[in-house]
A and B are shown apart, each in its own frame.
Chain A
Amino acid sequence: MSVIIEIPTAFRRFTGGAPKVDCSAATVAEALNELTARFPDLSRHVRDDQGQIRQFLNVYLNEEDIRFLGGESCCLKEGDRVLLVPSIAGGSE
């Protein structure tokens, strides 16, 4: 399925400034893997050492948080939008 991944400002320096990346994938997981394969510097901002999506990175499929859709294994349709939105939080140290 051909889908668009929307890249937040904070990550655009890893995609050569691109705010959107086209890719072809069957699931959100595959789309994210294709993204990090193409832009390896983005990897550590997307996944943690256990390979899970980083806790502070919110991923939306169209309007919905993927955690309500069964996680990154959820399936994509033609023209879907995957939106990455880093959480803004912390500062306790």
Chain B
Amino acid sequence: MWRYSELLPLPADFAPRSAVGGTPLVASRKLAAKWGLKNLYFKNDAVCFPSLSFKDRVVATALVAARRFNFTTVGCSSTGNLANAVAAQSAQQGFDACVFIPSDLEPAKILNTAVYGARIVRINGNYDHVNRLCAQIADRFQWGLVNVNLRPYYSEGSKTHGYEIAEQLGWTLPDNVVVPMAGGSLITKIAKGFRELVNLGWVEGKPVKFFGAQATGCSPISDGVKRNLQRFEPQKPNTIARSLAIGNPADGPYAIKLIRESGGWAEDVSDSEIVVAIKLLAETEGIFTETAGGVTTAVTQKLIAQNRIKPEETTVVCITGNGLKTTDAIAAEFPATEAIAPRLDAFEAYLDAQLGTTAAVAKA
């Protein structure tokens, strides 16, 4: 992401110390064919470095600011991925880290933060409770909470997800972008990134439709768009897509405005649709994404069925986190199989039971 340094709020003498971002834009073949789309791409931040989600981008810019402001302790309120990124990059950059999470966060996400040595404070509440507490903590302590008192620097990092999409498409903008929405910041910053590239003359200006994706169990922004509300109504989250479980999204009003003005739309999907979509993306494109990526994939399918995404258009689906972080969401789909003895005849018997005759397979 540092190739876009001049477009980020960094000091003039900034020198990057480690690589972040620069993730693949995967041209879809099998899923595109299945969905009948000519030009479908997945922006794959499931493999973002160092902590396997797009949050690495926003933490990178926030920590540069933290250094400038002489913070020695940094932290965040998080649904998981942000805590992972803060813990990993704090370890790299030499900050103490204290992160705040809802107490029921997925075990993998907690481990993925703890391993780097960060202090984890589990809060009996949902993310909205955690976020409110962090606003109070930022007031009281001299800590750099990346998504609270460092937020202006933090949010700018998301633009690089958009810059990379444009560069990887050959310095051109897509027709449609489908973006998961938690707090609602990412979708607005991808749009800002695109606008900046147009202003610089690096890409030709054109209408881009922004589509927001949420889980039905936490869909204040999607609901606000679909019911054309003046103000969204906050919700109490209830979904396996915990990374998107923000019932009171701070950037919700901006996301709604962007979606409407761009001629896009928002949709939301059920927990079972999320699981189906995670498997679909893995089986067709070899991309294993977490529940947020399942949401975005499932919503894309819905938008195609609604004819809001057209077959001949260029569509980019934003995959924001790795599937290894939310394995509990899909574990029930893959019950353990029975082991066999380490003998050829045992395997032949296994194949017979699974597929039919051994002879047919041996001849192939």
Contact = CB atoms under 8 A, between A and B. Distances in A.
A55 B192 contact: no
A90 B248 contact: no
Interface residues of A, number: 19
Contact of B236 (A9, A68, A87): A68
Contacts, number: 52
B250 A87 contact: yes
Contacts of A60: 132
A85 B130 CA distance: 13
A89 B236 contact: no
Given A85-B135, A89-B183, A91-B156, A65 B151 contact: no
B234 interface: yes
A36 interface: no
Contact of A88 (B156, B250, B253): B250
A90 B139 contact: no
Given A91-B152, A92-B191, A85 B251 contact: no
A58 B128 CA distance: 11
Nearest to A10: B139
Interface string B256-275: 00100000000000000000
Interface residues of B, number: 30
Contact of A8 (B135, B234, B258): B135
A38 to B, nearest CB: 22
A92 B184 CA distance: 12
Interface string B295-337: 0000000000000000000000000000000000000000000
State the majority secondary structure of interface residues on B: helix
Contacts of B188: 92
A36 to B, nearest CB: 20
Interface string B110-144: 00000000000000000011001001100100000
A67 interface: yes
B231 A55 contact: yes
B128 A65 contact: yes
B185 interface: yes
B234 A68 contact: yes
B71 interface: no
Query: Which of A60, A63, A68, A90 is packed against the most chain B CB atoms within 10 Å?
Result: A90
Contacts of A92: 188-189, 191-192, 254, 258
A8 B139 CA distance: 8
A14 to B, nearest CB: 15
B44 interface: no
A11 B106 CA distance: 36
B176 interface: no
B233 A89 contact: no
Interface string B138-172: 01000000011101100110000000000000000
Q: A8, A83, A91: which has the most chain B beta carbons within 10 Å?
A: A91
A58 B236 contact: no
A60 B152 CA distance: 25
A89 B304 CA distance: 31
Interface string A57-90: 0101001010110000000000000010111111
B356 to A, nearest CB: 58
Given A9-B139, A55-B253, A89-B254, A67 B189 contact: no
Interface in B170-218: 183-185, 188-189, 191-192
B132 A90 contact: no
B18 to A, nearest CB: 25
A60 B132 CA distance: 10
A84 to B, nearest CB: 10
Contacts of B135: 8, 85-86, 88
Contacts of B185: 89
Contacts of A90: 251, 254
19 contacts: A8-B135, A8-B139, A58-B132, A60-B132, A65-B234, A67-B233, A68-B234, A68-B236, A83-B132, A88-B148, A89-B183, A89-B253, A89-B254, A90-B254, A91-B151, A91-B192, A92-B191, A92-B254, A92-B258
Q: A-B pairs with the 5 shortest C-beta distances? A: A89-B250, A87-B250, A9-B139, A89-B251, A92-B188
Given A58-B248, A68-B234, 20 more contacts: A8-B135, A8-B139, A55-B253, A56-B253, A60-B132, A65-B234, A65-B248, A67-B234, A68-B236, A85-B135, A86-B135, A88-B149, A88-B151, A89-B151, A89-B183, A89-B251, A89-B253, A90-B254, A91-B192, A92-B188
